[in-house]
């Protein structure tokens, strides 16, 4: 599944508003985030609420984005939310993301020692 992360560019003005609200809440904590981290946080936040996700999906479709690309894009963030909320990662993901071992509650791979 190929994910087109350029779709987030359609949300520029929403991300600016999101950043402004975050900075109003806690300037010290959120001022350290770069644009990529802020975009990721924005996407994770909108995929947590089904109604909000549906609205932003419609924004992408109204901007003539390919429906399959939009669905893959949102599915990626839904899957990421699920993995982090349940602590389920493969060994590869845990190494690649350099995850804290406390975050990993279960793995998606099974190993057998002979």
Q: Looking at the predicted structure, is the pLDDT value of residue 63 above 60?
A: yes
Domain that holds residue 70: 5-87
Instruction: Give me the pLDDT at residue 84, please.
Output: 86
Q: Which long-range contacts (CB under 8 A, 24 or more apart) does 58-66 make?
A: 59/10, 59/11, 60/7, 60/10, 63/10, 65/7, 65/10, 66/4
Does residue 72 fall inside a structural domain? Answer: yes
The predicted model gives 70-86 an average pLDDT of: 91
Does residue 44 fall inside a structural domain? Answer: yes
Instruction: Give me the pLDDT at residue 47, please.
Output: 92
Does residue 113 fall inside a structural domain? Answer: no
The predicted model gives 13-18 an average pLDDT of: 93
Q: What is the pTM of this model?
A: 0.80
Does residue 61 fall inside a structural domain? Answer: yes
Does residue 37 fall inside a structural domain? Answer: yes
Report residue 111's pLDDT band, with 50, 70 and 90 as the boundaries: low
Structural domains counted in the chain: 1
Report residue 68's pLDDT band, with 50, 70 and 90 as the boundaries: very high
Instruction: Give me the pLDDT at residue 69, please.
Output: 94
Instruction: Give me the pLDDT at residue 51, please.
Output: 95
Does residue 107 fall inside a structural domain? Answer: no
């Amino acid at each position: 599944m190929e994910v087109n992360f350029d779709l987030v560019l359609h949300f520029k003005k929403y991300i600016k508003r999101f950043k402004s609200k975050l900075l109003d809440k806690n300037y010290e904590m959120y001022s350290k985030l770069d644009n990529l981290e802020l975009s990721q946080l924005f996407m994770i936040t909108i995929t947590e609420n089904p109604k909000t996700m549906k609205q932003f999906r419609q924004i992408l479709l109204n901007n003539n984005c390919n429906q399959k690309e939009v669905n893959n894009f949102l599915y990626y963030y839904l899957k990421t939310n699920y993995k982090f909320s349940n602590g389920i990662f493969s060994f590869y993901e845990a190494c690649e993301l350099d995850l804290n071992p406390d975050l990993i509650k279960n793995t998606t791979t099974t190993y057998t020692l002979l």
